[in-house]
Amino acid sequence: MKIKSVLLLLFLMGTTQAAQKPNIVFFLVDDLGLGDVGCFGSQFHETPNIDRLCSDGLKFSQAYSACTVCSPSRAAILLGKYPARTNLTDWIAGHRRRNAPLQIPDWNMRMGLAETTLPEALKSEGYRSQFVGKWHLMPIGAEDFEQHYPTSHGFDQNIAGREWGQPKGPGKYFSPFGMPNLDDGNKGDFLTDALTDQAVEFIEANQSDPFFLYFSYYTVHGPIMAPPDLVQKYREKALKFPKPHTERVNPSFAAMTELLDRSVGRVRSKLEELGLSDNTVIVFTSDNGGTSELASAGLRGAKALAYEGGTRVSTIVHWPGVTRPGSECTVPIIGNDFYPTLLEMSGGKPMPQQHVDGLSLVPLLQNPNAPWSRDELYWHYPHYHRTKPYGAIRKGHWKLIEFFENNAIELYNLEADPAERTNLAATEEIIASDLLKRLQQWRSSVEAQMPTHNPAYDPQNRGKPRSASVSDQPISTPHGTISASSHQSGNPPHHSVDGVRITRWAASNGTVPQWIQLDLGKQRPISGIEIRFKNRTKIHYAVSVSNNAREWQIVHESKKPTEIQDEKVSFSQNARFVRITINEVESGWATIEDWKPILPAS
């Protein structure tokens, strides 16, 4: 009887200890800008569930992703290490620009199997884990490709995780999805909803044991698309929304964001229904900044740029009984910190040799004003994207950026100038020199890979890399002077009239309307226009003409968003200027591959 009593006591003790371990729900949103949700400033997007999470928990107002693009940031969360230390420094498989001043290093496209990932560490503490959504951590084209699914890195279950960085199934965000262990469902089913179904099923099936749900959304990454009825709701809202727009106003994107918010609400509702909410930690964050500066809450830059808009992310932690509802912490934190934080929450022992670049946030969660010893954060991006290769350091309220092509440095006082408008490198030389030295020493300490001189670089080649800071000034072409409302680096307006099918004009962010126009130099008879849109997607656009570029006459307008690619429109006008205005686009950016007004033979 004594033996039975002891065994029963040990069993009950073990059960009690397991019950005391908090469940963990980790929401990782793709490409969500700092200002894309209500509690971080958005007025156009409707995010009541995320806002309630913020009211219930602690808001980190100076949280950073470990990289300005996705794959490195994702690995940093799971490994507790800076991307520079693991050499996983770009989105997989990255850009390949042969004619660039610098050659990118031979970087790593996988997490090492010898690493102890966050789900593996939690498994040793008795947690069941499920990965749901976007993975994008597989070495595309490599022999060991099949060895790097989520289940190879510690997760017990994988729903939809594969090598894709965005939905690429037959229906994209709509059924059929073409993703592992995810039923394609019925026609019209939306991916975010289908993933949420799987998440709540996992919670229900594992309610008796501590669980780790890692919900890594594909949304709000492009293609930008959502159910038509919800898009229509935001079209009507956009018509009444005050101008000029100081935030992202895109009906399709807003609809995607609402579906994200509903997903967060459904997960929390399931926790409440099962009586688990008081013992569940919830983390909400993003893998990098948004795709538009209008999504950056007034900060400079966006995803794939060196500035704050590229790495500052909306982050919330709700730890019932620990975080004070509606509280805010202004201490700079980074994605590497989540590993030691969640490990400590679980009762696990620290693994400093693994999460070497992260600090547990538990003291800040208990007291947002607690003393915090670390005052340096680092970024390393030896690649070309919308930016040129760069490194950066933040120390206190100072931030220094070093661009590797020409060793140019920029220095900003983030306390006085959070939008990074005034470069102080020339006037604060001592501070700049000290930060540069620290950045270089850090790179050496983590054995960061650096780009090298490209002996094949030809500066005369028209395909040479362009500055991340692009100009929208008019450009003279054989067809006339062309200009646009905005453009992406590498996709300027004149690429849409060069007759080359592989080039294009693309607007610099996901907002609409966007326009592109030609100045023919003088009034000329125009009998129509030919347009080839880059992507076959639903577009609403208008063609206008003018003689002074101030007063415009619409000569053609698509009646409703229509799925088109090639257009030939006939009209008869005498005009000097001709403009295409894209008012709505269901998927992606406003982008045109080729266009020209139809003029009489000269």
* pLDDT tens profile 159-206: 999 999 999 999 999 999 999 999 999 999 999 999 999 999 999 999
Structure tokens, 597: 């007004």
Query: Residue 241: is its pLDDT beyond 60?
Result: yes
Per-residue pLDDT band for 542 (boundaries 50, 70, 90) equals confident
The torsion angles phi and psi of 276, rounded to 5 degrees, stand at: -105, -10
Q: Which of 49-53, 378-382, 392-396, 567-571 has the lowest mean pLDDT?
A: 567-571
What pLDDT sits at residue 466? 40
Q: What is the separation of C-alpha 585 from the centre of its chain, rounded to a whole number of angstroms?
A: 19
Per-residue pLDDT band for 509 (boundaries 50, 70, 90) equals low
What pLDDT sits at residue 208? 95
Please check whether residue 333 is in contact with residue 315, taking contact to mean a CB–CB distance below 8 angstroms.
yes
What pLDDT sits at residue 470? 41
* pLDDT over 90, % of the chain: 76
For CATH 3.30.1120.10, the residue range(s) in the chain are 379-453
Please check whether residue 199 is in contact with residue 267, taking contact to mean a CB–CB distance below 8 angstroms.
yes
Please check whether residue 60 is in contact with residue 333, taking contact to mean a CB–CB distance below 8 angstroms.
yes
The architecture that CATH gives domain 475-598 is Sandwich (2.60)
Which residue has better confidence, 416 or 502? Answer: 416
For CATH 2.60.120.260, the residue range(s) in the chain are 475-598
Q: Which fold has domain 379-453?
A: Arylsulfatase, C-terminal domain (3.30.1120)
Quote the pTM value.
0.79
* pLDDT over 70, % of the chain: 92
Nearest to 263 by CA among 511, 510, 28: 28
Structure tokens, 33: 């800008």
Spatial neighbors of 291 by CB under 8 A, at least 6 apart, are 31, 33, 222, 302, 303, 509, 510
Query: Residue 601: is its pLDDT beyond 80?
Result: no
What pLDDT sits at residue 602? 60
For CATH 3.40.720.10, the residue range(s) in the chain are 2-96+107-367
Q: 433: part of which helix (H) or strand (E)? A: helix 429-445
Query: Residue 15: is its pLDDT beyond 90?
Result: no
What pLDDT sits at residue 508? 72
What pLDDT sits at residue 468? 35
Spatial neighbors of 277 by CB under 8 A, at least 6 apart, are 268, 271, 320
Cα separation, 533 vs 589, in Å, equals: 11
- Name the amino acid, one letter, at 117: T
DSSP 8-state assignment for residue 488: B
Mean local confidence (pLDDT), 430-444: 98
The torsion angles phi and psi of 5, rounded to 5 degrees, stand at: -65, -45
Classify domain 2-96+107-367 at the CATH superfamily level: Alkaline Phosphatase, subunit A (3.40.720.10)
Query: Residue 516: is its pLDDT beyond 90?
Result: yes
Cα separation, 284 vs 32, in Å, equals: 11
Task: Collapse the DSSP code of 312 into the 3-class scheme (helix H, G, I; strand E, B; otherwise coil) and give the result.
Answer: strand
Cα separation, 8 vs 2, in Å, equals: 10
Average pLDDT, the chain: 91
Convert the pLDDT of each residue in 63-115 to its tens digit.
Answer: 999 999 999 999 999 999 999 999 999 999 998 888 899 999 999 999 999 99
What pLDDT sits at residue 49? 98
What pLDDT sits at residue 22? 98
User: Could you give the C-alpha distances from 493 to 13, 314, 488, in angstroms and in order?
Assistant: 69, 33, 9
